């Protein structure tokens, strides 16, 4: 079993990191290795699990304190994480549930009324094989919900403002009692925002959002591969109550090439040659992504032989290096020969022996050994 990494190392923060720094680090790394963005990457799934475990501990003040003191040898780990009511005021049973169902230690309604980041968006971008290899700039249109310009996102008619919810008195929650138990529930009148709109904005019908079409331009880096993702920070939908914008995830789809196949940063090319060229050698013209080049096929080349042309492959992502072009020779046997051509081949064959055919000689020797 792999040794567990320090939780601070997993999140990439120092041991004196604030709660907000931990939250930001988790969000950033979670987006990078989220399983939805790497469906076939088992390592990304494991990193995501490791990241969640680190965040669960370090975002909880009590568990973080125990981790700082004991590390992975926490003596309370087998007892459900210690006292579940640690940090609560035991002035009464009702007070305990008031805090439990009222957003925890953060105070009344803080979670519901705090800033909320906007939704992330996803777009699938199709590009050609050459565009992926060399890089390009692409523009496309997306639809996203944006803040209503008429009401500036408040949802209230211009000239008016949302008012404090009379049901919850602006807390976003209402107290509900059942016998000896008292719990806090989200206020249904305001949806937990603590505000209600009397006069709705006619432009957005009180939602504070309008759906708009926007043109997005993205620079696709050279060397990107099929299925990889480009993240445009802040290009998603706007947040609520001062929250930051979401991000735009651009999933790249690369169209196949008519000649080349890609293997990492190398290009593979099945290259047909005549049996005469394979036997005698000769200069051939080889296509590359930058144009044709001259290459010499050596004498005696066998079917399936591979030749590597350095630096004629794909540019490495965010690097000046390039992969290679690998030629896989396919020796083509001619068809539909006329009588003269056939006679010439028979005359040629009559002048050869096992000395010119290494594989045939070795095969026949093994046959003789088998039947002796």
DSSP 51-101: HHHHHHHHTSHHHHHHHHHHGGG-TTGGGTTS-TTTT---S-HHHHHHHHT
- Dump pLDDT digits (tens) for 19-59: 888 988 888 888 887 766 766 677 877 888 888 888 888 98
How far apart CA 268 and CA 290 sit, in angstroms, is 15
User: In terms of Cα–Cα distance, which of 239, 154, 153 is closest to 198?
Assistant: 154
CA R_g for the chain = 34
pLDDT at 95: 39
> Which SS3 state, helix, strand or coil, does residue 341 take?
helix
CA angle (73, 75, 79) in 5-degree steps: 125
- Please state whether the predicted TM-score (pTM) of the whole model is above 0.85: no
Dihedral of alpha carbons 71, 45, 24, 184, sign: negative
Separation CA 86–CA 131 (nearest Å): 58
Ramachandran bin of 245, using left for φ above 0, alpha for ψ from -120 to 50, beta for the remaining angles: beta
Q: How far apart are CA 141 and CA 123, in angstroms?
A: 9
266-274 and 282-286 strand pairing? unpaired
| pLDDT the model gives residue 87 | 36
Query: Does domain 261-371 correspond to CATH entry 3.50.50.60?
Result: no
**What is the per-residue pLDDT for 314?**
95
Superfamily covering domain 1-79: DnaJ domain (1.10.287.110)
- Specify whether the CB–CB gap between 194 and 165 falls below 8 A: yes
Kindly report, residue by residue over 58-77, the tens digit of the pLDDT: 988 888 888 887 777 655 55
Q: Nearest 5°: phi and psi at 92?
A: 175, 155
* Cα(360)–Cα(306) distance, integer angstroms: 21
What's the CA gap between 132 and 220, in Å, rounded?
7
If residue 308 lies in a helix (H) or strand (E), which one and from where to where? strand 306-309
Cα 283 to chain centroid, rounded: 44
Residue 217: closest CA among 194, 250, 175: 250
pLDDT beyond 70 at 82: no
% pLDDT > 90, the chain: 45
Chain centroid, CA 338 distance in Å: 58
User: What sign results for the dihedral spanned by CA atoms 277, 280, 286, 292?
Assistant: negative
Pick from 138, 137, 135, 133: nearest CA to 260: 133
Domain layout of the chain by residue ranges: 1-79, 261-371
Residue-wise pLDDT for 229-282, tens only, equals 999 999 999 887 778 889 999 999 999 999 999 999 999 999 999 999 999 999
CB 93 within 8 A of CB 218: no
What is d(CA 277, CA 20) in angstroms, rounded to the nearest whole number?
Answer: 69
How large is the greatest C-alpha to C-alpha distance in the chain, in angstroms? 110
Helix or strand run (H / E) with residue 20: helix 19-32
Q: Which two three-digit tokens encode residue 246?
A: 């979401």
Pick the closest to residue 121 from 221, 251, 252, 254 (CA basis). Answer: 251
- Is pLDDT above 60 for 118? yes
CA atoms 72, 76, 79, 81: torsion sign? negative
The chain-wide mean pLDDT, for the chain, equals: 83
Are the CB atoms for 108 and 173 separated by under 8 Å? yes
């Amino acid at each position: 079993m792999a040794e567990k990494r320090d939780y601070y190392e997993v999140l990439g923060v120092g041991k004196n990191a604030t709660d907000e720094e931990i939250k930001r680090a988790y969000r950033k790394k979670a987006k990078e290795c989220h399983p939805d963005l790497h469906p076939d990457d088992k390592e990304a799934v494991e990193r995501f699990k490791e990241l969640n475990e680190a965040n669960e501990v370090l975002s909880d003040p009590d568990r973080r304190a125990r981790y700082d003191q004991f590390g992975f040898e926490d003596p309370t780990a087998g007892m459900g994480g210690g006292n579940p009511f640690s940090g609560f005021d035991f002035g009464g049973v009702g007070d305990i549930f008031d805090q439990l169902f009222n957003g925890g230690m953060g105070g009344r309604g803080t979670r519901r009324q705090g800033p909320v980041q906007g939704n992330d968006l996803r777009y699938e971008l199709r590009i050609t094989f050459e565009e992926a290899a060399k890089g390009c700039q692409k523009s496309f249109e997306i639809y996203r919900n944006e803040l209503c310009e008429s009401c500036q996102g408040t949802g209230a008619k211009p000239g008016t403002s949302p008012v404090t919810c009379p049901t919850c008195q602006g807390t976003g929650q209402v107290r509900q009692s059942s016998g000896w138990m008292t719990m806090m529930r989200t206020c249904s009148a305001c949806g937990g925002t603590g505000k209600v709109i009397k006069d709705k904005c006619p432009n957005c019908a009180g939602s504070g959002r309008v759906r708009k079409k926007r043109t997005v331009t993205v620079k696709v880096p050279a060397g990107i591969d099929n299925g990889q993702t480009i993240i445009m920070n802040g290009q998603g939908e706007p947040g609520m109550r001062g929250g930051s914008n979401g991000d735009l995830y651009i999933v790249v789809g690369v169209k196949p090439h008519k000649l080349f196949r890609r293997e990492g940063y190398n290009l593979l090319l099945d290259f047909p040659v005549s049996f005469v060229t394979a036997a005698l050698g000769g200069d051939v013209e080889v296509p590359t992504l930058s144009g044709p080049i001259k290459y010499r096929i050596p004498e005696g080349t066998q079917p399936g032989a591979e030749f590597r042309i350095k630096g004629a492959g794909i540019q490495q992502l965010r690097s000046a290096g390039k992969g290679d072009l690998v030629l896989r020779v396919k020796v083509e046997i001619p068809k539909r020969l006329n009588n003269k051509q056939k006679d010439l081949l028979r005359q040629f064959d009559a002048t050869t022996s096992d000395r010119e055919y290494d594989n045939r000689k070795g095969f026949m020797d093994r046959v003789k050994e088998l039947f002796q």
